[in-house]
Amino acid sequence: MAVMAVAEKRKACPICGKPADELFRPFCSKRCADVDLNRWLSGVYAVPVTEDEEEDERREDDKPTS
Ligand SMILES: [Zn+2]
């Protein structure tokens, strides 16, 4: 919550922290916008795999209890 408030006040680029540019909000440049997009795309692909692994680990944790 506190982080969001600070980001709104300063409007800093979430990638490099420099002041955001009107043209590339919320980023400071097209380059940083591309970096964020790439992060997003790789995150979308990574999420399902991570969730599956976590669920498997929890199930294995439950078994030895009994
Ligand atoms: Zn930037």
Buried b (16+ CB within 10 A) or exposed e, 22-37: eeeebbbbeebbebee
Residue 45 belongs to what H/E stretch? helix 30-62
Q: How far is the CA of 25 from the centre of ligand 1 (A)?
A: 10
Give the model confidence (pLDDT) of 9-66 as tens digits.
668 999 999 999 999 999 999 999 999 999 988 886 655 555 555 556 666 667 776 6
How far is the centre of ligand 1, averaged over its atoms, from the C-alpha of 12 (Å)?
Answer: 8
pTM exceeds 0.75 for this model: no
- How many A from CA of 58 to the centre of ligand 1? 39
If you measure from the C-alpha of residue 11 to the centroid of ligand 1, how many angstroms do you get, rounded to a whole number?
Answer: 11
Using CA atoms, how far residue 25 sits from 3, 6, 54, 64, in Å, is 17, 16, 35, 51
